[in-house]
Amino acid sequence: MPTHVVVIARSANKALDMSFRILHCISSVNPKKGGPIEGIKQLSAINQRHGHTVEVVTLDHPDDPWVKDFPLPCHAMGPTYIGAYAYSPRLVPWLKANAHRYDAVIVNGIWQYHAFGAWRALRGTSTPYFVFTHGMLDPWFKRSYPLKHLKKWMFWPWSEYRVLRDATAVMFTCEDERRLARQSFWLYRCDEFVVSYGTSAPPEPADRQKQAFLAQFPHLKDKRCLLFLGRVHEKKGPDLLFEAFARLRARRPELTQNVEIVMAGPADDAYGMSIQGLSKRLGLSDQTTWTGMVRGDVKWGAFRQADAFILPSHQENFGIAVAEAMACKVPVLISNQVNIWREIQLANGGFIDADTVDGTERLLERWLTTPEAEWQAMRQNAQDCFNERFRIERTAESFVEAMEVFGMRRNHKLEPRLVA
């Protein structure tokens, strides 16, 4: 069982006046790997603005292009072995030799060697390490992949359990994530705390971004765009989106005739190709645009052009794209498996339903039958919700406050103060 729960308040600013040397440890900085990489970049930009030093150690190969392009000092420990687990014989010696240079090490994600290697190198040392699980302990994985979960159980007592048990603290982005993490393995003990999580406000100007997007996809100019932005992955429910849209189109064609589903994200692996095939079989090719991965002005332009954002996910720890959509005044249609759904529902910044075809169909119908004046009000609600709850500045505050709560001081051994 967990030993302590710490919830970090977000009101104080004094922690930002302290200066820390922070090392993020992550399996890869390849942007195609999803939200944690973008989160590190955005959080680190705020940390640096407040005088903190931030570096990254990764299992990537030094010659990988995303390593060279990464905006932070990046220590690449590749090449790696043992497939996706990414064992690196260089990681532990490097951490042991360099850990003294940092006030804290932040382990981003588990189930790959970077987490176990950090435990091997840092346990019992004066350099504290924190673990950000990024939703990887959600019991959805246990239910959806029982054989894989059984395999994980074989390794759990000797690997990830120890990583979490010996961490200075394990960080969760919301109360739902913390609660769900306790349900995956009965052998579970760690010091938990909940920090706010967020993303940066969108850059300006909005008109330039919208024009950049429409320059690549001019046929979307007069469409009601329904935006799905992110990895086309099973857990995010893209199949639910297409099946629900096809049902609604058959039942109420007048609602969907000017709607375009915009799938913005990598979809070139086996699962992505299967979803493209599903779209064709359902007869939705004429109402679907596949953009591939979008960045910069084109990415933000996709948000600016969208009438609604959708994520009928089966499991979503935070959902950076959800927050980005709200920042752009785009109401969100999400499942109740996106862990920040309660905050969004309370703010009336979108619609929430079950992660089923029926639930997703209800989301689509509610969106398309909402009066225009009410939808415009929801646009403002969405942006207000982002500003109050999900700005990256709040994440930076609560993150550094967490280090202060646990007694961190430059050049001092960690002496945690536990808050029941």
Structural domain boundaries of the chain?
Answer: 4-199+393-405, 206-390
Average pLDDT of the chain is 89
Query: How many CB atoms lie under 10 A from the CB of residue 410?
Result: 9
Q: Rounded distance, CA 45 to CA 54, Å?
A: 9
User: In this predicted structure, what is the pLDDT of residue 208?
Assistant: 96
Q: Which residues of the chain have pLDDT under 50?
A: 2, 6-16, 409-420
Mind listing the pLDDT tens digit for each residue in 189-228?
998 888 877 888 899 999 999 999 999 999 999 999 999 9
Q: Rounded distance, CA 49 to CA 378, Å?
A: 33
- The three-state DSSP-derived secondary structure of the chain is CCCEEEECCCCCCHHHHCCCEEEEEECCCCHHHCHHHHHHHHHHHHHHHCCCEEEEEECCCCCCHHHHHCCCCEEECCCCECHHHCECCCHHHHHHHHHHHCCEEEEECCCCHHHHHHHHHHCCCCCCEEEECCCCCCCHHHHHCHHHHHHHHHHHHHCHHHHHHCCCEEEECCHHHHHHHCCCCCCCCCEEEECCCCECCCCCCHHHHHHHHHHHCHHHCCCEEEEEECCCCHHHCHHHHHHHHHHHHHHCHHHHCCEEEEEECCCCCHHHHHHHHHHHHCCCHHHEEECCCCCHHHHHHHHHHEEEEEECCCCECCCHHHHHHHHCCCCEEEECCECCHHHHHHHCCEEEECCCHHHHHHHHHHHHHCCHHHHHHHHHHHHHHHHHHCEHHHHHHHHHHHHHHCCCCCCCCCCCCCCC
The dihedral sign for the CA sequence 83, 87, 88, 89: negative
Which amino acid would we find at residue 191?
D
Topology of domain 206-390, CATH:
Rossmann fold (3.40.50)
The residue to which tokens 């990489």 are assigned: 37
User: In this predicted structure, what is the pLDDT of residue 17?
Assistant: 53
User: In this predicted structure, what is the pLDDT of residue 173?
Assistant: 82
The residue to which tokens 């939705």 are assigned: 284
Q: Do domains 4-199+393-405 and 206-390 have the same CATH topology?
A: yes
User: In this predicted structure, what is the pLDDT of residue 412?
Assistant: 45
Q: Into which CATH architecture does domain 4-199+393-405 fall?
A: 3-Layer(aba) Sandwich (3.40)
